[in-house]
Amino acid sequence: MSETGRRMMVFSGTSNRELAEDVAKHLGIELGNVKISKFANSEIYVRYLESVRGADVFLIQSACAPVNDSIMEMLIMVDAAKRASARSITAVVSHYGYARQDKKSAAREPITAKLVADLMITAGIDKVIAMDLHQGQIQGFFDQPVNHLTALPILADYFESMNLENICIVSPDVGRVKVAKKFADMCGASLAIMHKGRPDHNVAEITHVIGEVEGRACIVIDDMIDTAGSVTEGAKSLMQNGAKSVYVTATHGIFSPPAYERIESSEILEVVVTNTLPVPVDKRGGKIRVLSVAPLFARAIQNVYNDESVSELFDPDFQL
């Protein structure tokens, strides 16, 4: 307990326990003791096995498969903490579920990313710490403070350590150009853009490549890799346009089937993701490289707890 009487308590859901343990290790604390189980009919049960009264509670959860169970588990953890008289509740969401449904692209569609935000607010969260949301506008779905982190510096440092020459950063579509340009500036590289069409969900068609990729080491950057259809088709198109080599990087490695098979049989040399979502140990290595964002989450949690700036952790232009 601090001199002010405040205390930090960090708990983990079941979706990404490995990340939560890594975060706690960097914070120099133990994860809190919570019981999470399921009834025979698959209803989720949560009970904190130690007092959280008056504590600043941080709940680490990732919306990975089964997505609906992961989200519901987080909501129940928030409700249990609120009813146990926690001083504040911060949801540390390493991957935000339903982030791709952030607007109406056709008539009679839902905006499910807003619905998830409403559910979290109703459950009783006070703050959110998130990593590389699909679109920044999702922050506006909350009335509570959202600390939006980015893994770009971690990814940029990794590729810088590879000492690649003649690098070109490639945006997989026009919607990711701003992020790709920021990444290109970090890497001191040129920029290219792929024009992508989507005839159906999880189906991608690359029609044009805008920019000079011939003879270059191309790094395709996206926020998430789901079935890997976009990135593998993009790699094929880049190689057909004369690229020397193709790497792919993204913050969130969802890897829904048949992602691993597509990546292994593709011309991609390496796919670099972070541990915001769990990647099975037997899938790491080979073409899949997983970087840890636990130190960044730990510093963000510490700064939020101490009422210090979080901007300096992810904004390269931030000046004290």
CA–CA separation, 105 and 244 (whole Å) = 36
Write a three-state SS string for the chain. Answer: CCCCCCCEEEEECCCCHHHHHHHHHHHCCCCCCEEEEECCCCCEEEEECCCCCCCEEEEEECCCCCHHHHHHHHHHHHHHHHHCCCCEEEEEECCCCCCCCCCCCCCCCCCHHHHHHHHHHHHCCCEEEEECCCCHHHHHHCCCCEEEECCHHHHHHHHHHCCCCCEEEEECCHHHHHHHHHHHHHHCCEEEEEEEEEEECCEEEEEEEECCCCCCEEEEEEEEECCCHHHHHHHHHHHHCCCCEEEEEEEEECCCCCHHHHHHCCCCCEEEEEECCCCCHHHCECCEEEECCHHHHHHHHHHHHCCCCCHHHCCCCCCC
CA–CA separation, 250 and 290 (whole Å) = 10
CA–CA separation, 118 and 146 (whole Å) = 14
In the set 25, 181, 196, 244, the catalytic residue is 196
103 is catalytic: no
Active site members: 196
